[in-house]
Homo-oligomer: A and B are copies of this chain.
Amino acid sequence: TLAAPAIAQTNPRITWRLASSFPKSLDTIYGAADDLYNFVSEATDGNFVIQPFAAGEIVGALQVHDAVTDGTVEAAHTAGYYFWGKDPTFALGCAVPFSLSSRGMNAFMYEGGGNELYNEFLAQYKIIAFPGGNSGTQMGGWFRREINTVDDLRGLKMRIGGFAGKVLEQLGLVPQQIAGGDIYQALERGTIDAAEWIGPYDDEKLGFVKVAPYYYAPGVWEGGPMWHFYFNTDAYGALPENYKSVLRTACDAANVRMLSKYDYKNPTAIKTLVGQGAQLRWFSKDVMDAMFDAANRTYEEYSATNTHFANMWGAIKDFRSEYYTWAQIADYNYDTYMMIKQNEGAL
């Protein structure tokens, strides 16, 4: 049986652990790790197992990149912007204010050399990453009072993530870091005035509508946030070529599936939330312009001293301009017409 060793070699038994930055209650996000597990396990007849663990089971949500770097786990599923404090380039693969939408991110990362730039940066951490999900544009968050002018942001205590918080600080906003499970109480007690979380499907679960009814759109700091699967480069490099390919293809599939889940679940959730009293509001152009200018100051600041950041942000910026020229021609006019018909009650 000459062939046996060669065949056996192609499907070796390999078991990896994946540390998710998310709790299982965020089923749509956490689900991407389940999808990866299922796709890879099925494709290899159960020989290549990537067992997912929720945040805190092996390491905390914000330690998953370190765990991949030092080989505590072979894999993570995370949002790169969690690690902006270590280097803001982490955030560029995920979401920064006024970056690309979900389709734009896919185009940039898959076709525009974006993922290669991201992996050049991540190599120093012994991480290789592939896109692993998107939520579409998130909501701007829940506010206890209306935001009508840029001045209304001054002194506003808002639960908002790191990179976006740094940008909004320039407008006098006071960013707060609060874990998901503690946001409701902080809003209820008035310890904070506002909180951004994700979008209708996930926000509904936490009940914010009862304590901060003004629900603002759009979440300009997360126009198309991209989750990633991070893999330890040694572990990835040691895989047989067929497993590497299975892994990459499974990441692509998990990526498209997460956005589809959000696009299917959010429509129902937004209706429920409005039924529960959510007051939809939109940031004014003045408010968004002030945020936009603040974001650009941040990008200039980082680009001046951080080569990886400068290269990757420069590439995003170049493509962003091209993308938003084309996007406004066919898709945008189609969507606009369909929305008009929806609002006419004709769909």
Q: A326–B249 contact, CB under 8 A?
A: no
Contacts of A200 in B (CB 8 A): 326
Q: A260–B328 contact, CB under 8 A?
A: no
Contacts of A112 in B (CB 8 A): 264
Contacts of A260 in B (CB 8 A): 103, 106-107, 110-111
> Which of A223, A253, A328 is packed against the most chain B CB atoms within 10 Å?
A253
Given that A218-B333, A260-B111 are contacting pairs, would A43 and B43 also be in contact in the complex, using a CB cutoff of 8 Å? yes
Q: B223–A43 contact, CB under 8 A?
A: no
Given that A320-B347, A334-B223 are contacting pairs, would A325 and B271 also be in contact in the complex, using a CB cutoff of 8 Å? yes
Closest chain B residue to A344 by CB distance? Answer: B289
**Copies of this chain present:** 2
Known: A267-B326, A324-B335. 11 other contacts (CB 8 A): A1-B4, A3-B8, A4-B4, A103-B136, A107-B260, A107-B263, A107-B264, A139-B330, A252-B257, A253-B256, A264-B319
Q: Which residues of A contact B (CB under 8 A)?
A: 1, 3-4, 7-8, 10-11, 39, 42-45, 98, 101-104, 106-108, 110-112, 136-139, 199-200, 217-220, 223, 240-242, 245-246, 249-250, 252-253, 255-257, 259-261, 263-268, 270-271, 280, 282, 285, 288, 292, 317, 319-343, 346-347
